Copies of this chain bind each other. A is one copy, B any other.
Amino acid sequence: MEIEIATVGGYEEVGRQMTAVRAGDDIVIFDMGLNLSKVLIHDNLRTEGMHSLDLIDMGAIPDDRILSDLDGTVQAIVPTHGHLDHIGAISKLAHRYDAPIVSTPFTSALVEEEIDDEDKFHTDNDVVQMNAGGTMSIGERCELEFVNVTHSIIDAINPVLHTPEGAIVYGLDKRMDHTPVIGDPIDMKRFREIGREGEGVLCYIEDCTNANKKGRTPSEAVAREQLEDVMLSLEDYDGGIVATTFSSHIARVTSIVEFAERIGRQPVLLGRSMEQYSGTAERLGIVDFPDDLGMYGHSRSVDRAFERVMNEGKENYLPVVTGHQGEPRAMLTRMGRGETPYELYQGDKVIFSARVIPEPTNVGQRYQSEKLLGMQGARIYDDVHVSGHLRQEGHYQMLDALQPRHVIPAHQDMAGFSGYVELAGNQGYKLGRDLHVTSNGNTIQLVG
């Protein structure tokens, strides 16, 4: 059976991930993501009403026209988790394919929200839920399996396409977490089995975000311990405390909520995406927040919540807000500008449970946000965080578990791949033979 991989998007950047695997006549698409930075560099661009081709020209979504070169039929579109760089182009591209969107429950819910928000295109592909551990047939001879992984969002999986020539393991995005705070540990046992059963692993596509970093990405349990250390040290403080983190990072939000209560403060989630992700997670029964946890997304209800906090005493509350990257329109930046009813006083604390994404735009915006907060008297706790992506030792462990015949680094540019090429080289892989450094828009013939 012919096996071919098309590297549609996310092989020169972080963002707009999309990969197509053809096994005989059947094609499976992994991820359809958005490169948000290509949108934000333009002022005031509203993507909901834009055409796919314009977004492709901007480099914002994958150029899926390469799929016309693949001789087969798309059988499934598989978003691996709910981050925008993996699902953000579905509303622009999925309608072109007569195939269901298959994903875990939390991811499915987020995909449906994306589809609902879209103005330009109507997407009526089936959205099919499949849990980690589940399998479904692809054509007559292949099978799709979801293996549970741990990432900075819940319900993440690595999809595996089992073919007669061996398994294709799509390894984006994960870290190796045995104590992930929410959900099950990464299923290394299953990866090891896949590496040894049948024809073994034909090809492994890997997330290289942190492939230039030594050692091991710490568990979410470490971030939780850091957060506990910071928040409990503030137990006696009787002024304002505000926290911010990735809205989609439900495990982190849960820890913040829990420690807020532990120090005698009522947490309240504020900001559109804060409400969206946490609300969805709660609705699906994935987390069990306190009954009285407020979540407010619309600006009027956010303002009312802030007013209540000011009236009843800042010392009784802990707002958890959007804005960890200093995004100009996010809630925390607006607080820094004095545009919300929440007044910061000298000595108030702001906890960033996030790291600045090291790109000069973010660094500049975050700096501005901290300056504005500082001008109002706030003091910053920075970088209370661990990454959601494997470092080098995790990559070694995955190669050891899967023993793939071919490896394709992804989710970075060439400089980002360099550490992976070196480590894969240490494990005996060789550029141009079984280690495929590539870019967007290529096809790699694995079995001819």
B residues in contact with A359, CB < 8 Å? 367
Pick the contact of A214: B215, B222, B381 (CB < 8 A): B381
CB pair B425 A431 closer than 8 Å: no
Pick the contact of A371: B41, B368, B431 (CB < 8 A): B41
A354 vs chain B, min Cβ distance (A): 13
Pick the contact of A361: B222, B233, B349, B364 (CB < 8 A): B364
Interface residues of A in 395-448 (CB under 8 A from B): 396, 413-415, 417-419, 421-422, 425-426, 430-432, 436-439, 442
Interface residues of A in 356-372 (CB under 8 A from B): 359-368, 371-372
List the one stretch of A107-115, A223-231, A307-315 in contact with chain B: A223-231
CB pair A218 B214 closer than 8 Å: no
CB pair B222 A226 closer than 8 Å: yes
Most buried by B among A347, A366, A419: A347
Q: List 24 A-B contacts (CB under 8 A).
A: A41-B372, A42-B337, A176-B233, A214-B379, A214-B380, A215-B380, A216-B229, A216-B230, A219-B229, A221-B225, A222-B222, A222-B226, A347-B396, A360-B363, A360-B364, A361-B367, A364-B367, A379-B393, A379-B396, A414-B415, A414-B422, A418-B418, A430-B442, A432-B442
Given contacts A414-B421, A414-B422, 16 further A-B contacts (CB under 8 A): A178-B232, A215-B381, A215-B384, A221-B225, A221-B229, A222-B222, A222-B229, A347-B396, A360-B360, A360-B366, A361-B364, A362-B364, A381-B393, A415-B415, A415-B419, A430-B439
